[in-house]
């Protein structure tokens, strides 16, 4: 029997989530408000204007679109993917002088680190940050390392930082002999790190760190402690740090962190036989209750391979889930939660910002360039190269 995908049954997001990324904080990776003269969102010619500016720029421009971007933006992407894939795609196009990154700030930083000096990376809205990356600042992480040193464990601790972190945190990781990981290779990164030392400091997403260690590698929840940068000494004792295998930074994704055990139970009651597929940035109890867990790329491939007529509840960002539901009308694909779960900062990149960035470039004016300083780039690259060298 073929089941047609039903409209996604969701309700408005609470205001707090929509406001994320509105403020500017020069010390965080989030960037500042857009200085541009934006076209009005109601301009009926926006699509045509974007097309014309892109055509005028030709090979000089390469537009990257993260999976969580809006449809109105993704239609102009030369390539789509997760943040690491996109940064590598940009590096593989040296003839593209301008890399327009439709994603968030840390992704544009990573693209700048991995591309050549001749390539300039542009983020159409500088206020498109990532709330998770903002949860670990350079000062907080340096303080944490001091706490680990005091407890006598820094020498045996290897930092492993998720791709979703600022260039500063990646550089910290490179300075201390650690590696970057993505949600696809977190297990390999942890296995490598445990061959180098006795403990791992996992930044900044506690859920990815915990889920990988416990679900994939057989550690227990008691092997994990959470370091809270807002508490004195991280809210943990020296003894707890000495006993722990995984020291998890208290950070999370505002989007994936919203899924709950109730959402899983609710969808199972509503759709008998549904397959629950969630991203590893979700809370541990959600991941434990799911049928399948995997990165964005894994989710896309799993749905491609799923038999017609099968039912899926997906726990990841809503723009992507909507696109997947549209792309697979022979399968029932629903959003795991009942409320809207867009990444509000990703959504800041809209058609007016993209048109503004492309038209400025076509006029010879580089706007919103993201540039990582040389020293930070050097050490961040060490950590990224370590990831590429993972067995």
Residue numbers of the site for ligand SF4 (CB under 6 A)? 68, 104, 130-132, 164, 253-255, 317, 343, 345-346
Q: What sign results for the dihedral spanned by CA atoms 164, 168, 169, 175?
A: positive
Token code pair at residue 53: 């500016």
Q: How many helices (H) and strands (E) does the chain have?
A: 17, 14
Which residue's CB is nearer to ligand SF4, number 39 or number 251?
A: 251
Closest approach of Cβ 333 to ligand SF4, in Å?
19
The residue (of 27 and 270) whose beta carbon lies closer to ligand SF4 is 27
How much is the CA Rg of the chain, to the nearest whole Å?
A: 21
Two tokens, residue 3: 């089941």
Q: Is 277 helix (H, G, I), strand (E, B) or coil?
A: strand
Is residue 134 within 8 Å of 112, Cβ to Cβ? no
Least distance (Å) between residue 252 CB and ligand SF4 = 8
Q: What are phi and psi of 328, to 5 degrees?
A: -125, 70
Q: Minimum Å distance from CB 253 to ligand SF4?
A: 3
Kind and range of the H or E element at 158?
Answer: strand 157-162
Q: How far is the CB of 279 from ligand SF4 (least distance, A)?
A: 9
CA distance 391 to 70: 35
Nearest distance, CB of residue 33 and ligand SF4, angstroms: 18
Closer of 46 and 343 to ligand SF4 (Cβ): 343
Q: How far is the CB of 101 from ligand SF4 (least distance, A)?
A: 12
Between 80 and 360, CB nearer to ligand SF4: 80
**Cβ-based nearer residue to ligand SF4, 332 or 368:** 368
Residue 297, φ and ψ in degrees, nearest 5: -65, -40
* Residue 343 C-beta: closest distance to ligand SF4, Å: 3
- Distance between CA atoms of residues 213 and 181, nearest Å: 13
Q: Which is nearer to ligand SF4, 82 or 359 (CB)?
A: 82
Pick between residue 332 and residue 347 the one whose CB is nearest to ligand SF4.
347
What is each CA distance from 33 to 19, 112, 345, in whole angstroms? 13, 20, 12
Which residue's CB is nearer to ligand SF4, number 131 or number 386? 131
Whether 248 and 254 have beta carbons less than 8 Å apart is answered as no
> Which CB, 185 or 345, lies closer to ligand SF4?
345
Angle at CA of residue 387, ends 383 and 391, nearest 5°:
140
Shortest distance, CB of residue 127 to ligand SF4, whole angstroms? 13
CA distance 72 to 31: 23
Nearest approach, Cβ of residue 317 and ligand SF4 (Å): 5
CA proximity to 313, closest of 355, 266, 255, 274: 274
- Supply the minimum distance, in Å, between the C-beta of residue 107 and ligand SF4: 8
Which of 119, 254 has the CB closer to ligand SF4?
254
The CA-atom distances, in angstroms, between 364 and each of 36, 50, 60, 360, 367 are 15, 15, 11, 6, 10
> What is the β-pairing status of strands 120-122 and 369-370?
antiparallel
**Calpha distance 370→77 (Å, rounded):** 19
What phi and psi values does residue 4 have, to the nearest 5 degrees? -85, 145
């Amino acid at each position: 029997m073929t089941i047609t995908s039903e409209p996604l049954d969701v309700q408005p997001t609470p205001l707090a989530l929509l406001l994320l990324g509105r403020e500017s904080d020069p010390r965080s990776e989030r960037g500042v408000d857009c200085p541009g003269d934006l076209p009005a969102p109601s301009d009926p010619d926006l699509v045509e204007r974007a097309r014309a500016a892109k055509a005028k720029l030709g090979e000089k421009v390469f537009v990257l679109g993260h999976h969580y971007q809006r449809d109105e933006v993704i239609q102009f992407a030369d390539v789509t993917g997760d943040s690491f894939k996109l940064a590598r795609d940009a590096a593989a196009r040296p003839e593209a002088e301008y890399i327009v990154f439709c994603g968030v700030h840390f992704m544009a930083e990573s693209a700048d680190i991995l591309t050549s000096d001749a390539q300039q990376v542009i983020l159409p809205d500088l206020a498109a940050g990532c709330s998770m990356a903002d949860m670990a600042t350079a000062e907080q992480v340096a303080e944490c390392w001091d706490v680990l040193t005091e407890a006598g464990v820094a020498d045996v601790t290897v930092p492993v930082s998720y791709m979703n972190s600022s260039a500063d945190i990646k550089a910290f990781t490179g300075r201390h002999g650690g590696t970057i990981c993505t949600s696809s290779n977190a297990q390999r990164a942890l296995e490598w790190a445990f061959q180098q030392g006795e403990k791992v400091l996992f930044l900044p997403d506690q859920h990815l760190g915990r889920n990988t260690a416990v679900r994939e590698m057989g550690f227990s929840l008691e092997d994990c402690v959470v370091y809270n940068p807002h508490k004195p000494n991280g809210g943990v004792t020296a003894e707890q740090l000495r006993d722990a295998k995984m020291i998890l930074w208290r950070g999370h994704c505002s989007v994936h962190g919203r899924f709950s055990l109730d959402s899983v139970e609710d969808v199972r009651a509503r759709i008998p036989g549904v397959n629950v597929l969630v991203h590893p940035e979700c809370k541990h109890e959600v991941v434990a209750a799911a049928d399948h867990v995997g990165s964005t790329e894994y989710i896309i491939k799993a749905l491609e391979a799923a038999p017609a007529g099968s039912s899926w509840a997906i726990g990841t960002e809503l723009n992507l889930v909507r696109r997947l539901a549209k792309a697979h009308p022979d399968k029932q694909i629903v959003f795991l939660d009942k409320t809207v779960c867009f990444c509000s900062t990703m959504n800041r990149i809209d058609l007016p910002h993209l048109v503004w960035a492309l038209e400025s470039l076509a006029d010879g004016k580089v706007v919103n360039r993201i540039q990582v300083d040389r020293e930070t780039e050097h050490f961040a690259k060490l950590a990224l190269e370590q990831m590429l060298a993972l067995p």
